[in-house]
Chain A
Amino acid sequence: EVQLAESGGGLVQPGGSLRLSCEASGFTVSNSYMSWVRQAPGGGLEWVSLIFRLGNTAYADSVRGRFTISRDSSRNTLYLQIDSLRADDAGVYFCARHHDGDWIDSWGQGTLVTVSS
């Protein structure tokens, strides 16, 4: 069974940093296309970043240069390093697996990021 478990969210001051983790089971992260998707309070879903099977990456314009997606094959874990946090980065961050590079076919339960001074 495919399972995704996010962690690492919390309260951070504007300008601060955070590293989110997504531990996967039931499949191999390094053989998959994996994304981070976020949801502002009461809002819709926004794709943030994706890492391809070969390790290259893609980012939404709103986060490029501040967020870094990566993975650790030995831990079967996906990461999102978030730097220079802004108020509009607040929300629940979900990790997701893609069917090839197309649709998302599995989701985690999310981890909450709160940005406040």
Chain B
Amino acid sequence: QVVLTQAPSASASLGASVKLTCTLSSGRSSYAIAWHQQHPDKGPRYLMNVNSDGGHNKGDGVPDRFSGSSSGAERYLTISSLQSEDEAVYFCQTWDTGVWVFGGGTRLTVL
């Protein structure tokens, strides 16, 4: 079964850029994923899906500061010009036959 691995935490300064990583388990480098953002005590928000070729489609209203890319089994979410409201937990999500899987999430702190 596919497994997604994310670093538990990341931090970056206000106005800077940060690149979050989601790694697909062995043999799954062709899989697409989706990124979701969750603020404390809120439901998650869909940000975008990212294909193995780096192509991505963003959800409604997602700022241009958010972008996605890929390299091998890694899928990335890059946030530029960090703002305080970007402080949240970011989850990646994928799917396989009969199962839908989430990474453990990365808690982003904006310094």
A and B physically associate: yes
Chain A residues engaging chain B, CB cutoff 8 angstroms: 35, 37, 44-47, 50, 58, 60, 94, 99, 101-110
Instruction: Determine how close the nearest CB of chain B comes to the CB of A40; give it in whole angstroms.
Output: 12
B66 adjacent to chain A (CB < 8 Å): no
24 pairs of residues in contact across A and B, judged by CB atoms under 8 Å: A35-B100, A37-B102, A44-B91, A44-B104, A44-B105, A45-B44, A45-B93, A45-B102, A47-B99, A47-B101, A47-B102, A50-B100, A99-B49, A101-B95, A102-B95, A103-B32, A103-B34, A104-B34, A104-B100, A105-B59, A107-B43, A108-B43, A109-B42, A110-B43
- Majority-rule SS of B interface residues: strand
Instruction: Determine how close the nearest CB of chain B comes to the CB of A24; give it in whole angstroms.
Output: 14
Bitwise, B17-33 to A at CB < 8 A (1) or not (0) is 00000000000000011
